[in-house]
């Protein structure tokens, strides 16, 4: 079975440009999570969806960041007007049930570099 698929694996973008990151969760999983990973901050929760509905976006920077899940097979994280401090590995994870006590299966991440 395929795991969580994230694209692109690497993205370099100029300051002020937009970046869109894609995530395909494991088929049949009903919860999708986004985390951001940096050396300084470690793994930070951004947002999650349950059965495609946004449940908690408390970790999302209020400006410039948005996430969507238009169907059960993919979710996107969009960053507008990217800044150097947005440089990080963005990790997507899915779980079988809409309950975080279940195992989270992470993708390999999308490394975003803003120059």
Partner 1 sequence: GDSVTQMQGQVTLSEDDFLFINCTYSTTWYPTLFWYVQYPGEGPQLLLKVTTANNKGISRGFEATYDKGTTSFHLQKASVQESDSAVYYCVLLNYNQGKLIFGQGTKLSIKP
Contact positions vs partner 1 (CB under 8 A):
4, 33, 35, 42-43, 45, 48, 50, 55-56, 58, 91, 93, 98-101, 103-109
| Closer residue to partner 1 (CB): 81 or 110 | 110
Please, what is the minimum distance in Å from the beta carbon of residue 36 to partner 1? Answer: 11
Kindly state the DSSP code that residue 111 receives in the 8-state scheme: E
Is the peptide bond between 8 and the residue preceding it cis, with omega within 30 degrees of 0?
yes
Q: What is the dihedral of CA 85, 8, 71, 19, to 10 degrees?
A: 40
| Closer residue to partner 1 (CB): 15 or 99 | 99
């Amino acid at each position: 079975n395929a795991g969580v698929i994230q694209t692109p694996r690497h993205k370099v973008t100029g300051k002020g440009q937009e970046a869109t990151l894609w995530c395909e969760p494991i088929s049949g999983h009903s919860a999708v999570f986004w985390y951001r990973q940096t050396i300084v901050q470690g793994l930070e929760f951004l947002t999650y969806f349950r059965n495609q509905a946004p449940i908690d976006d408390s970790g999302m920077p209020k400006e410039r960041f948005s996430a969507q899940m238009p169907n059960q097979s993919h979710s996107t994280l969009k960053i507008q007007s990217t800044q150097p401090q947005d440089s990080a590995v963005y990790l997507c994870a899915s779980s079988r049930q809409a309950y975080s006590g279940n195992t989270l299966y992470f993708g390999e991440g999308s490394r975003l570099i803003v120059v």
